[in-house]
Structure 1
Amino acid sequence: VVHDNGRRTEITRLTWRGRITDRGSSLPLDGINRVPGLIRNCGGAGDTPTSLPLHDVTCTDPDELVTFTPEYGARTPGGEGVEAVLDAHERVVELRSPRGGTIPPGGSSVQATGERVADLTALAQLGDRLSVSTTLLDARGRRISPSPRTDIVNGGPELVRDGRIHVTPATDGMVHPDDPSWYYGWVHKRNPRTLAGVDAAGRTVLVTADGRGTGSLGLSIGESAEVAKSLGLRDAVNLDGGGSTTMVAEGAVLNSPSDAAGERPVGDALLILPHRHGS
């Protein structure tokens, strides 16, 4: 979690909670800005095949409530179910079935699938105010209130906590009970790695290690933790590695990405930008 435009960084475990409320009744939400029924990396109640985290696996759940904001895109995902569309004042202006469509400026929506359709239909009435609340909690259960100056990126497993090596592949879903080779290839085997951490002075440290080549073999997750600790990091986490491991400065790629095609298209990145006056 990068606070205040990079002035403070922390490595912590976050828990997301959401609810919709109308006239004193409320329902728990299953997610935000994702396709209902598909849970990447699992970890949700009622997921199949598991409610535990399972990295690089998409679990399913036919009965979900998911809220959408304009950040999702121009249109919400379509499919069977019901969608309550809210304006900027949280008033229900439309009930769609099937679900999918545009969101009013400043508004949002809530989609229901499976058994949750009846729940949403009973709660959301045209013209009513449907309050959508979401909360982020840190590892100690304290509420985190992100601002426009906050950036959050997820990763795993943990590597260092409070200055000590603390590797968590099982907790973070890197152990697949039905496929022992997955742990070997992802955790034990050397690969290109990307690490992020915070040192004792509070400075944010980003590390890339090349691999899968004759000149650079890469790091195992255990070795990544050793590197993070040797650099004096108080807390550190593993980020997406393999062919995604790329470090760029002033427009030049500094490392050697392992994919044969070079740089890999990725969905997100950590950017360090020049300080702007007044920011």
Structure 2
Amino acid sequence: MSDTSDRLLGETTNERRASCQVAPGLTFTKIESTLQDGQTRYVRVLSVDFAAFTGKIRATTGKTVKDRERTSDMAGLMASQGLEPLAAVNGGFFDIASEFSPGALGGLTVADGKILNSAANGEAALTLGNHGTNLWIDKVWSQSRITFTPPGGSPSRPDHVVDGLNREPGRIQGCGGGMGPAGENDRNSHPDNLIDARMPQLGIHCLDSDETIVFTEDFGALPFLPGTVRAVLVGADRTVKQVSDTTSGLVAGPGEHVVVATGSHAAWLQTDAVVGSQMSLPAADVRRGASAETAVYFNGTDDAVVNGGPWLVKNGAEGPFDFNSGTTPEHAYLTPMNSRTAAGITTDRKLLLVVVDKKSGPAGPAHGLTMPQLAQAMKNLGATEAVNLDGGGSSTMWVKGALANHPSDGTGEERYVGNAIVVTAK
């Protein structure tokens, strides 16, 4: 590494950078900065230049949505599918405290063009696809509606709002209400009633005892869920095959769905979804923009979305970090120097994937970054748009078969996470 005057934040005594080409159009850069207190900051950057890169950027939840896996294992899964993984970073926020689905994502998640988790409405997200032409960061929203028509009858509640996809019923990681800032709140609440559950809230889960959740084959087998529950298994032909008062052991096969209703919603499902009922579940309405004004369509297997927040850099400006971005100036995520993962887009449409270490490194103790510092760093790296991804012990970068950073989970090992962004050769 060689000293450079192009320092990431300006408070370092010296900064050293070294880069190598992983593949044409894919560059890996190490940035190591000695700070005034003698400690070192370790930053790792993957840069994808779509003008030269011939591979793909993929999102994956691993083998199932409900379970967690290491970023390196998700890259290995790509290898088992013959896709030749080149590099990977951890992805978005997930519900690590859920016993029902600890790997379920706390926001909109799309992999291979398929929606796997619904949005924490109003959250920021990174969208990848179509070899960089469908590359953007924006607020995202989603809503689905479902109808069950009993044999020879009429639905009692047509176009019933679906509260979530592939997650624990009653537990909304990241909060977020209905479609658009004035959308239906659906009775979400915070356990201590301290925040507005209609807005996205980083690192916080909200509650709703009356929910309807849809599970796809991607989730895996459903565990036991306590409380008032009604569950139905719907075949690939959209006909109800099985009804149950427990979720335990239910699993959706290819093209099938399991629909679970809790609390007051259970009575509706018991009335309308009997064996032989027909399910109508149109494609989710996904939108982007401050007021959910622009429709989003996922048309190909290249499309992917990773949830995140806050929005670090917007139109070349840092922040703001405010309530509308899922944070407040006093938010616990903003001020600590933590390990961080972020994604950015440059003016010339390069994708930046960045990981910052905390706690340890090859030269001893390491500094992380506060969220405002991360925004400044992303801007100084050339990003005109950037979003924070899951950080702390989740922050992981893997390049060509080996970890490229020093994960800071309490175990000292790589954390099992909900999803990952994987760069593949094909």
Provide the TM-score with structure 1 as the length reference.
Answer: 0.86
Secondary structure at 1:130's aligned position in 2? Answer: strand
Partner of 1:66: 213
Q: Equivalent residues in 2 for 1:249-268 (5 A)?
A: 249-259=399-409, 261-268=412-419
Q: Could you give the per-residue CA deviations for residues 190-243 of structure 1, whole angstroms, max 9, x where no partner exists?
A: 222111011111111111222335653221111111111122212100111122
The equivalent of 1:54 in structure 2 is 201
2:320 paired with 1:170: no
Check conservation: 2:344, 2:352, Cα contact below 8 A. yes
Note closer, same or farther for the CA distance 1:118–1:235 as it changes in structure 2 (3 Å cut).
same
* Matching residue of 1:231: 381
> Residue 222 of structure 2 contacts residue 247 of structure 2 at CA under 8 Å; is this kept in 1?
no
Please name the residue that 2:273 is paired with: 124
Counterpart of 2:327, as a letter, is M
Residue 104 of structure 1: CA displacement? 4.3
Partner of 2:142: 16
SS at match of 1:16: strand
For residues 249 and 7 of structure 1, what CA distance do their matches in structure 2 show? 24
Shift of 1:268: 1.7
Q: Which residue of 2 aligns with 1:43?
A: 176
Taking only aligned residues, the RMSD between alpha carbons, in angstroms, comes to 2.3
Aligned 1:13-162 pairs, distance under 5 A = 13-21=139-147, 22=149, 25-44=158-177, 45=185, 46-49=187-190, 50-51=196-197, 52-75=199-222, 77-79=224-226, 80-100=228-248, 101-133=250-282, 134-139=284-289, 140-146=292-298, 147-162=300-315
**Structure 1 residues 191 and 145 mapped into 2: Cα distance closer, same or farther (>3 Å)?**
same
The offset of 1:7, in angstroms, is 5.3
| CA shift digits 1:27-52 (9 cap, x unpaired) | 11100111111112222431222523
Contact 1:54 1:175 in 2 (8 A): no
TM-aligned CA distance change 1:30 to 1:203, over 3 Å: same
Work out the CA distance in 2 between the residues paired with 1:109 and 1:209: 39
Bigger fraction of residues in strand: 2
Query: Relative to structure 2, which stretch is displaced further, 10-19 or 78-87?
Result: 78-87
How far does the alpha carbon of each residue in 1:67-100 deviate from its partner, in whole angstroms, 9 at most, with x for none? 1111110336544311122111111222222344
Mapped partners of 1:136, 1:252: distance in 2: 36
Higher helix share: 1
Higher mean C-alpha displacement, 221-230 vs 46-55: 46-55
How far off is 1:135 after superposition? 2.2
Q: Partner residue of 1:216?
A: 366
> Which shifted more, 187-196 or 18-27?
18-27
Looking at structure 2, the residues matched to 230 and 241 of structure 1 have their Cα atoms a distance apart, in angstroms, of 20
For residues 102 and 209 of structure 1, the distance between their equivalents in structure 2, rounded to whole angstroms, comes to 39
Does structure 2 retain, via aligned residues, the 8 Å contact 1:86–1:104? no
Residue identity opposite 1:168 in structure 2: F
Compared CA separation, residues 29 and 218, structure 1 to 2 (3 A): same
**Higher RCO, 1 vs 2 (CA within 8 Å, ≥6 residues apart):** 2
8 Å Cα contact 1:192/1:258 also seen in 2: yes
CA distance in 2, matches of 1:103, 1:254: 37
How many angstroms does 1:128 deviate by? Answer: 2.6
Gaps of 5+ in 2: 1-126, 178-184, 191-195
Separation (CA, whole Å) in 2 of partners of 1:6 and 1:73? 31
Tell which deviates more after alignment, 250-259 or 153-162: 250-259
SS of corresponding position for 1:14: strand
Report deviation, 1:158.
0.5
Given residue 164 of structure 2, which amino acid in structure 1 is its aligned partner? G
Q: Indicate conservation of the 8 Å contact 1:196/1:238, yes or no.
A: yes
**Alignment check: 8 A CA contact 1:68 1:76 kept:** no
Which stretch shifts more, 188-197 or 78-87? 78-87
Structure 2 distance, partners of 1:142, 1:125, is 37
SS in 2 for 1:271: strand
Alpha-carbon offset, residue 108 of structure 1: 0.7
Q: CA 1:242/1:113 → structure 2, altered by over 3 Å: closer, same or farther?
A: same
Correspondence for 1:206 among 343, 349, 353? 353
- Scaled by the length of structure 2, what TM-score is found? 0.58
Asked if the contact 1:8–1:202 (Cα under 8 Å) also holds between the matched residues in 2, the reply is no
Partners of 1:5 and 1:150 within 8 A in 2: no
State the number of aligned residues: 269
CA distance in 2, matches of 1:6, 1:67: 31
